[in-house]
């Protein structure tokens, strides 16, 4: 019961990247570099797809929303993300989606990174979209429609500029204020920005159509007549059961590409289609085992829902950046007794530190 506890050892400490640290990291590296780096990390992991432990996310549903755990492992590193989805949060000044994630060493089970993932998910989602478009969008595409100008919008814009060479953006949102916010945020980037009065106006001349609306149940953001031949559709917003953005007829005219079919059939646009409707897994496209875009008239559709491997890639990237940027805090998260059998003794020897209680 006497003596001072010694400081926790290196192994007992888990580097933690807070929201403030994530923003510092993004600025230290540069947001467009982060986006293209993330695309590289995601592509690397998709190229070793079969190595990963894959499982649809574990969801806990409630009347207001859902809380999910998304675990995966490559056999050496284990990762998971905690993420919620609560569409009504926005009306109370809260984020619809908040997230954090963790990496651990598979060989001993010790966590090695804890990170905010609200910002990181926004970044990896945009990087994933642009990476898919690199394989699927028409060659030389310069113009993208962005329908839905909420929290994901600007990240998409920058990822498509950096990774796909997009120069012109055509914005539409049912809330004009959201469009104005996005155009203000992107005003100094050198991108050519156009606010549009309707979704039909927004898609005019666009080779890529990105839909990222948030809280409509079975909405129809894109109808069949709006989608001309040869475009690539990047459908972000349809990402949980009962939430879709595209008319079924659009799906039937498209070649559909997905991350992980078992999950996308539950959560993606293709929940509108029979369970045996043909889709192509993106990892096969990246590795050359399946065709991406084959001709100029083909409509390609990335039915994006977000998969655990992408979060794994993003966390792996952040971990690799820590020694370079130094933006993290060591958390005393793991008990580390000198003798692993003597957990009780460690607790008791800490008594000297403090025994006061606030009233």
Q: Is 276 a catalytic residue?
A: no
Tell the smallest beta-carbon distance from residue 335 to a second copy (Å). Answer: 4
The dihedral formed by the CA atoms of 195, 199, 204 and 208, expressed in degrees to the nearest 10: 90
Tell the smallest beta-carbon distance from residue 128 to a second copy (Å). Answer: 17
- Cβ-based nearer residue to a second copy, 153 or 231: 153
* Helix (H) or strand (E) run with residue 263 in it: helix 261-267
Tell the smallest beta-carbon distance from residue 102 to a second copy (Å). Answer: 7
Q: What is the rounded distance in angstroms from the CA atom of residue 316 to the CA atom of residue 14?
A: 14
- Cβ-based nearer residue to a second copy, 153 or 226: 153
Tell the smallest beta-carbon distance from residue 227 to a second copy (Å). Answer: 26
Nearest to 35, CA basis, from 154, 155, 204: 155
- Cβ-based nearer residue to a second copy, 101 or 138: 101
- Please pick, among 21, 239, 303, 311, the residue that the annotation labels catalytic: 239
Per-position DSSP letters for 18-44, written without gaps between them: -HHHHHHHHHHH-HHHHHHHHHHHHHH
Per-position DSSP letters for 266-296, written without gaps between them: HHSGGGGS-TT---EEHHHHHTTSS-S--ST
Residue 171 β-bridge partners:
146, 195
- Cβ-based nearer residue to a second copy, 243 or 247: 243
189: left (phi over 0), alpha (psi -120 to 50) or beta: alpha
State the pairing for strand pair 254-258/99-105. unpaired
Catalytic residues: 239
């Amino acid at each position: 019961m006497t003596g001072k506890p010694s400081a926790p050892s290196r192994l007992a400490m888990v580097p933690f990247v807070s929201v403030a640290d994530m923003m510092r990291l993004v600025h230290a590296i540069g947001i467009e570099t982060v986006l293209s780096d993330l695309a590289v990390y995601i592509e690397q992991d998709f190229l070793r797809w079969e190595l990963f432990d894959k499982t649809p996310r574990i969801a806990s549903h409630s009347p207001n929303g859902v809380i999910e755990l998304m675990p995966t492992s490559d056999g050496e590193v284990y990762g998971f993300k905690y993420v919620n989805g609560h569409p009504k949060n926005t009306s109370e000044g809260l984020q619809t989606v908040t997230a954090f994630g963790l990496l651990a060493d598979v060989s001993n089970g010790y966590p090695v990174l804890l990170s905010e993932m609200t910002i990181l998910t926004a970044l990896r989602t945009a990087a994933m979209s642009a990476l898919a478009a690199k394989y699927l969008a028409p060659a030389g595409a310069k113009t993208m429609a962005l329908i839905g100008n909420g929290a994901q919008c600007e990240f998409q814009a920058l990822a498509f500029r950096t990774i796909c060479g997009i120069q012109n953006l055509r914005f539409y949102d049912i809330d004009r204020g959201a469009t104005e916010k996005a155009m203000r945020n992107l005003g100094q980037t050198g991108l050519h920005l156009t606010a549009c009065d309707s979704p039909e106006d927004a898609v005019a001349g666009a080779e890529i159509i990105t839909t990222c609306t948030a809280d409509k149940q079975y909405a129809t953001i894109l109808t069949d007549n709006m989608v001309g031949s040869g475009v690539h559709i990047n459908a972000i917003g349809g990402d949980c059961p009962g939430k879709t953005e595209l008319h079924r007829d659009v799906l039937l005219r498209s070649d559909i590409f997905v991350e992980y079919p078992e999950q996308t059939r539950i959560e993606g646009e293709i929940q509108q289609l029979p369970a045996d409707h043909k889709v192509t897994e993106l990892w096969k496209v990246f590795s050359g085992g399946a065709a991406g875009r084959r001709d100029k008239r083909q409509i390609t559709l990335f039915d994006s829902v977000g998969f655990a491997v992408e979060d794994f890639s993003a966390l792996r990237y952040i971990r690799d950046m820590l020694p370079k940027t130094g933006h993290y805090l060591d958390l005393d998260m793991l008990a580390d007794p000198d003798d692993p059998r003597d957990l009780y003794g460690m607790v008791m020897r800490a008594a000297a530190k403090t025994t006061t209680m606030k009233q």
